[in-house]
């Protein structure tokens, strides 16, 4: 597999170093327990896909400035806080292959640590002195919370339509990537039309990212700490199984899907639903939908970004999101 990450980072290498320094400083505290929790969170830093997108979008239309860097730190902190809180809501014991904050320190500490990180995000966004960026981040926080509540309410709904699936994604992963693109371009002074096109690009990226994540769940993912069918254990039905259910109208499988929603499904029944999904074109359909969004995003890049290293990097980013193995 092509080393996409090297291509993605190439035009923004020094700016990413500046970001990492700022981000690490933001998660540093002198208090014992708080610092322990923050250090634990820093250990699972991930690939920094969101900050990279912010910096690339800024560079596609202008230059990366202190405004861009503080905005990127603010958004990544908001995302980090939302993951800490999500793990409490989902009662998750693991995050990226290591113990979650709530597993190590309990729910009370996890909620308070999430609140601390969220407040630190607001502080960095205030350093941008740009009202539009403050507004994007505030709207993102509201949208992500609403997306979580929508997902919780959908767990007990008997509806499993594609429309509802996309509705949740657009208020979770897609909203996050959309905000990255908007914040990046806005920080570099882009006009309204360019920002809107960037938002569409980011939204499509986020949808692809989530569909790919959902497909992973139909295969053994023990390396990244996720067993097969983990979404179904949590009461979630994702695009592949939704497609298979709606195209076959198989009464037995629909009954199992209702058991997923009710939280009464067994491991063996999940395995049957996973096998049914694969046998009835669910994975192929989800792959096809990813490539549809990929084509739309490529068209936006060709329309708005000049040929050169930044465009190559954004194309590699798009390809990486769809081709990644974890």
Please write the tens of the pLDDT for every residue from 50-97.
999 999 999 999 999 999 999 999 999 998 998 899 888 888 888 877
The single residue listed with the structure tokens 């820093």 is: 42
- Whole-number Cα distances in Å, 27 to 35, 48, 115, 166, 199: 8, 15, 13, 33, 28
Closest CA to 293 of 325, 316, 319: 319
Helix (H) or strand (E) holding 166: helix 162-170
Is position 180 within any domain?
yes
What's the CATH code of the domain at 207?
Answer: 1.10.600.10
User: What is the spatial distance between Cα 43 and Cα 204, in angstroms, rounded to a whole number?
Assistant: 29
The pLDDT of residue 137 is above 60: yes
The answer to whether 57 touches 119, Cβ cutoff 8 Å, is no
263-280 residue pLDDT tens: 899 999 999 999 999 999
CA distance 230 to 267: 10
Query: Among residues 47, 83, 40, 10, which one has the least CA distance to residue 325?
Result: 47
Instruction: Say if 2 falls within a structural domain.
Output: no
Q: pLDDT digits over 8-63, tens only? A: 999 999 999 999 999 999 999 988 999 999 988 888 878 899 999 999 999 999 99
Rounded Cα distance, 70 and 128, in Å: 6
How many folded domains does the chain comprise? Answer: 1
Report which DSSP code applies to 95: E
3-state helix, strand, coil in the chain (%, to 5): 75, 0, 20
pLDDT greater than 70 at residue 118: yes
Judge whether 1 lies within some domain.
no
Within-domain flag for 197: yes
Name the DSSP class of 229: T
Could you tell me if residue 98 is inside a domain? Answer: yes
**Residue 313 belongs to what domain range?**
8-323
> Is residue 3 in some structural domain?
no
Q: What is the pTM of this model?
A: 0.91
Model confidence over 226-262: pLDDT tens digits? Answer: 557 788 988 889 999 999 999 999 999 999 999 999 8
Q: What is the pLDDT of residue 235?
A: 87
Contacts of residue 59, defined as CB under 8 A and 6 or more positions apart, other chains included, come to 11, 12, 15, 188, 310
Provide the pLDDT for residue 93. 84
Instruction: Identify which of 72, 64, 71 has the alpha carbon closest to the alpha carbon of residue 131.
Output: 71
């Amino acid at each position: 597999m092509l080393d996409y990450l090297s291509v993605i980072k190439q035009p923004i290498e020094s700016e990413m170093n500046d970001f990492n320094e700022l981000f690490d400083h933001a998660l540093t505290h002198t208090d014992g327990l708080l610092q322990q929790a923050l250090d634990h969170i820093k250990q699972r830093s991930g690939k920094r896909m969101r900050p990279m997108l912010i910096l690339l979008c800024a560079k596609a239309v202008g230059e990366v400035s202190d405004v861009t860097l503080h905005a990127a730190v603010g958004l990544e902190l908001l995302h980090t806080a939302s993951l800490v809180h999500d793990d409490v809501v989902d009662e998750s014991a693991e995050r990226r292959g290591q113990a979650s904050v709530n597993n190590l320190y309990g729910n009370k500490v996890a909620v308070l640590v999430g609140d601390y990180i969220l407040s630190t995000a607001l502080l960095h966004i205030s350093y941008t002195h740009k009202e539009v960026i403050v507004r994007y981040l505030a709207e993102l926080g509201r949208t992500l919370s609403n997306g979580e509540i929508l997902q919780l309410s959908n767990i007990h709904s008997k509806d499993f339509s594609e429309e509802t699936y996309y509705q949740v994604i657009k208020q979770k992963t897609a909203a996050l990537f959309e905000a990255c693109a908007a914040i990046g371009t806005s920080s570099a002074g882009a006009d309204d039309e360019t920002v809107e096109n960037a938002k569409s690009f980011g939204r499509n990226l986020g949808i692809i990212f989530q569909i790919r994540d959902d497909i992973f769940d139909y295969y053994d993912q023990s390396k990244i700490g996720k067993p097969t069918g983990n979404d179904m254990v949590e009461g979630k039905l994702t695009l592949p199984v939704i497609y298979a259910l709606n195209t076959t109208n198989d009464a037995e499988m629909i009954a199992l899907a209702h058991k997923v929603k009710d939280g009464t499904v067994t491991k063996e029944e999940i395995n049957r639903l996973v096998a049914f999904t694969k046998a009835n074109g669910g994975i192929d359909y989800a792959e096809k939908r990813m490539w549809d969004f990929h084509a739309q995003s490529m068209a936006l890049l060709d329309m708005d970004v000049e040929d050169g290293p930044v465009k190559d990097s954004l194309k590699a980013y798009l390809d990486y999101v769809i081709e990644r193995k974890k």
